[in-house]
Structure formats: structure tokens, C-alpha cells
Amino acid sequence: MVVESYVVVHNIAKRHNVGTLARSASALGVSELILVGRRDFNSFGSHGSSSHLRFRHFHSLLDARHFLKEKDCDICGVEITDNAVAVNQHPFKRSTAFLLGNEGTGLSVKECEICDFFVYIPQYGGGTASLNVTVAASIVLHHFGGTDLAFTIFMSACGHRLIVSES
């Protein structure tokens, strides 16, 4: 069984976050970055990783959900809800798409409605109530990649830097 991960981008307020999100997604083995609504994004922050990641566009959340369900994929909302599970409990059972909320308002009601389950990131300090969307995505994707489900990506190390493919 091939286990894949996806990131769904919808309603992110700061368009430059999509480029940084693409960089993390590429580094953490995401299969596709799914853009919903607006097709354009700023690739600032991607450091060239956008060329190593597939992008797919949908006009609506329901279209994106239909595509993901055809892939037998769970949709995981990253949000603090009453039924959210801590991400470090690794609640992932199969291929998963991660939907992250807007930097200011979190996931909307419509976004929550397409999610199968929710995870939250435990925080241990009291200085802020939330994390930057790209930081949150990186943490969640790292936990997904650390599960037994996730596939292993082989990279060769050279000094302190990883060598990735040129393709």
C-alpha cells in the first residue's frame, strides 16, 4: 500500500506563505499541494522546491474533497477543536490530506465540514495561541512522515546538507 500526503491550501491570507509551505511540503514528502479557489500564489520562500512538487487546482472545497476521496484519502483539519487529537499521538491510518486554517481565523465552518478528523499541535508555552501556518504544516507533516505508514525517502548526506535529485 502506497501512503501519500497532500496539503490543501484554501483561504491563506498571506500569499507568500504558500511558497514557504511548498518548501516544507517538498522536504517532507508531500505528493501534491492542492490549491482551492485562487490559482495564483507567490513562490517566494520556496527556494526552488516548487519545481519538485506537483500542484493541482480546484475551484471549490467540495471538488477537492471529491478528488481526495477518490484517492481513498482521509482529510485531516489542523485545528483546535473539541474532538481534535494531539498530532504526537499519530492518529493517521492511511493517505492523508492536511487542511490548515487561515492565519488569523483558523478553519472556517465550510473547511471543517470536509474534514474526517482533526489534529492539534500541543504547545507548552503561554506566549501565543497559535503558530504560523507554515510552521504548523511542517510540524504536522513531520509527524505524519514519522509514522510506520509513511514511505521512506532515501537521501544521501554530504556534510551537513542533504543532496536531493536534480530532476
With a CB cutoff of 8 Å and minimum separation 6, the contacts of 92 are 74, 76, 144, 147, 149
pLDDT tens sequence across 21-32: 888 888 888 999
CA angle centred on 142, ends 137 and 145, rounded to 5° = 125
- Rounded average pLDDT over 139-145: 92
Is the per-residue pLDDT at 108 higher than 50? yes
Angle at 4 between CA 103 and CA 165, to 5 degrees: 90
The residue length of the chain stands at: 167
Residue 114: pLDDT band with limits 50, 70, 90: very high
pLDDT range class, residue 37, cuts 50, 70, 90: confident
Give the span between the Cα atoms of 62 and 123, in whole angstroms.
31
Lowest-pLDDT choice from 59-63, 94-98, 162-166: 162-166
CB distance 34 to 12 below 8 Å:
no
Helices 16-27 and 133-145 pack at an angle, to 10 degrees, of: 10
CA gap 148, 167 in Å, rounded = 27
Q: To the nearest whole number, what is the mean pLDDT of the chain?
A: 80
The mean pLDDT of 83-103, rounded to a whole number, is 92
Check whether 167 has a pLDDT greater than 50. Answer: no
